[in-house]
């Protein structure tokens, strides 16, 4: 065989190790098992679901979505058979988060706005699921959730006089922040889905453009994160809502809870902005690994007092990292 013959014969060509491969019927079974794990209550199920959906999308493109949803439906049926119908409602949010994030990241559309909408939708779904479940028992979710948080704090603080004082002081806070529990749950699900989807990209087409022409997946750089301006609008709206609820008094508990939840939720965007400033400065100063680790630990401690979020908010205007504002806001996403 001559060199020309060797080049003209596809079977004899060199296939890069890790190039995307066809097939993947076992990954559909993995998706069904992932739904079962999610129904059982493990966050691992969300990660595995996004992993399977992303791998199949990298190998087969958008035509894999319908079979993936069918595999997820089979997982629901399996969960109903093994765990009972009562396990299905709690599975809706993890499955929605896993599928949505995997699809967004595969399409290279996991922008701050898209991910934020996904978190909001998942949080609302979780609230609706619990609301329907509690309503069937004659309970109101707006009363049951604060009471649950109060009881959890009572178990932590104890039954002493000092513990009772702590619980009494914390009860108004719980009545204002209880919807944020659903936001945190949705954030965890979305985060696990993002991790699974990124691993799926490495497993499905590691370092290669996908067969559908998508560029290779790469890890987003937090040092390039730039908060969108609509986050400032939401921050202002939450502050106005809190002020109005305080002025209205006891009749505006739902408005206060919604405004506080919005404030705490949008705070994550500005916290990322603050960490982006920190990482950008560390890159500029070329700090070593040990100093970076110490700086990150201190920054996490400072964020407990909202200091990094404040830095991020100021950076929206100050632009400490001198980012080009025309395209920097597209950097903090999975490409």
Q: What are phi and psi of 86, to 5 degrees?
A: -65, -15
For residue 326, the model assigns a pLDDT of 62
DSSP 52-77: HHHHHHHHHGGGGHHHHHHHHHHHHH
| pLDDT > 90 in the chain, percent | 67
More confident residue, 272 or 20: 272
Longest dimension (CA), the chain: 91
At 198-211, the pLDDT tens digits run: 999 888 665 555 55
Mean of all residue pLDDT scores within the chain: 86
Per-residue confidence (pLDDT) for residue 53, from 0 to 100? 96
Asked if 234 contacts 268 with a C-beta cutoff of 8 angstroms, the reply is: no
Comparing 31-40, 48-57, 170-179, 201-210, which segment has the lowest mean pLDDT? 201-210
The C-alpha angle 167, 171, 173, rounded to 5 degrees, equals 125
DSSP 121-164: HHHHHHHHHHHHHHHTTT--HHHHHHHHHHHHHHHHH-SSHHHH
Nearest to 211 by CA among 62, 36, 34, 312: 62
Q: Determine the Cα–Cα distance for residues 152 and 97; give it in Å rounded to an integer.
A: 27
Q: Work out the average pLDDT over 43-54.
A: 95
Q: How far is residue 285's CA from residue 275's CA, in Å, rounded to a whole number? A: 15
Q: What is the pLDDT of residues 83-93, one digit of tens each?
A: 999 999 999 99
Question: Distance (Å, rounded) from C-alpha 64 to C-alpha 54?
Answer: 9
| DSSP three-state, residue 9 | coil
Distance CA 168, CA 150 (A): 9
Integer CA distances (angstroms), 47 to 112, 199, 200, in order? 20, 9, 10
Is residue 335 predicted with pLDDT exceeding 70?
Answer: no
For range 229-254, the mean pLDDT? 92
Of 243 and 329, the structure prediction assigns the larger pLDDT to: 243
pTM for the model = 0.85
**pLDDT in the model for residue 330:** 42
Question: What does the DSSP 8-state code read for residue 14?
Answer: P
pLDDT tens by residue, 281-315: 999 999 899 999 999 999 999 998 899 999 999 99
* pLDDT value at 139 more than 80: yes
């Amino acid at each position: 065989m001559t060199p020309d013959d060797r080049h003209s014969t596809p079977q004899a060509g060199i296939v890069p190790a890790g190039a995307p491969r066809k097939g993947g019927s076992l990954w559909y079974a993995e998706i069904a098992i992932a739904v079962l794990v999610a129904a059982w209550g493990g966050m691992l199920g969300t990660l595995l679901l996004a992993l399977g959906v992303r791998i199949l999308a990298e190998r087969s493109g958008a035509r894999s979505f319908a079979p993936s949803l069918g595999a997820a439906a089979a997982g629901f049926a399996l969960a109903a058979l093994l765990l009972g119908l009562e396990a299905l409602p709690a599975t809706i949010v993890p499955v929605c988060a896993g599928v949505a994030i995997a699809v967004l990241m595969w399409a290279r559309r996991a922008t701050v706005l898209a991910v934020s909408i996904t978190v909001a939708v998942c949080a609302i779904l979780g609230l609706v699921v619990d609301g329907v479940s509690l309503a069937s028992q004659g309970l109101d979710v707006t009363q049951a959730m604060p009471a649950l948080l109060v009881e959890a704090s009572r178990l932590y603080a104890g039954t002493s006089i000092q513990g009772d004082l702590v619980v009494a002081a914390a009860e108004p806070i719980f009545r204002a922040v209880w919807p944020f529990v659903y936001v945190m749950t949705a954030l965890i699900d979305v985060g696990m889905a993002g991790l699974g989807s990124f691993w799926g990209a490495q497993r499905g087409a590691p370092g290669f453009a996908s067969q559908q022409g998508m560029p290779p997946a790469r890890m987003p750089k937090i040092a390039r994160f730039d908060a969108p301006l609509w986050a400032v609008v939401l921050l202002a709206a939450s502050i106005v809502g809190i002020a109005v609820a305080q002025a209205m008094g006891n009749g505006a508990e739902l408005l206060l809870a919604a405004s506080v939840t919005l404030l705490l939720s949008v705070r994550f965007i500005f916290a990322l902005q603050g960490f982006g400033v920190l990482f950008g400065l560390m890159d500029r100063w070329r700090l070593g690994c040990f100093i970076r680790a110490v700086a990150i630990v201190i920054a996490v401690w400072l964020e407990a007092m909202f200091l990094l979020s404040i830095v991020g908010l100021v950076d929206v205007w100050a632009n400490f990292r001198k980012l080009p504002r025309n395209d920097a806001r597209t950097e903090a996403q999975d490409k």
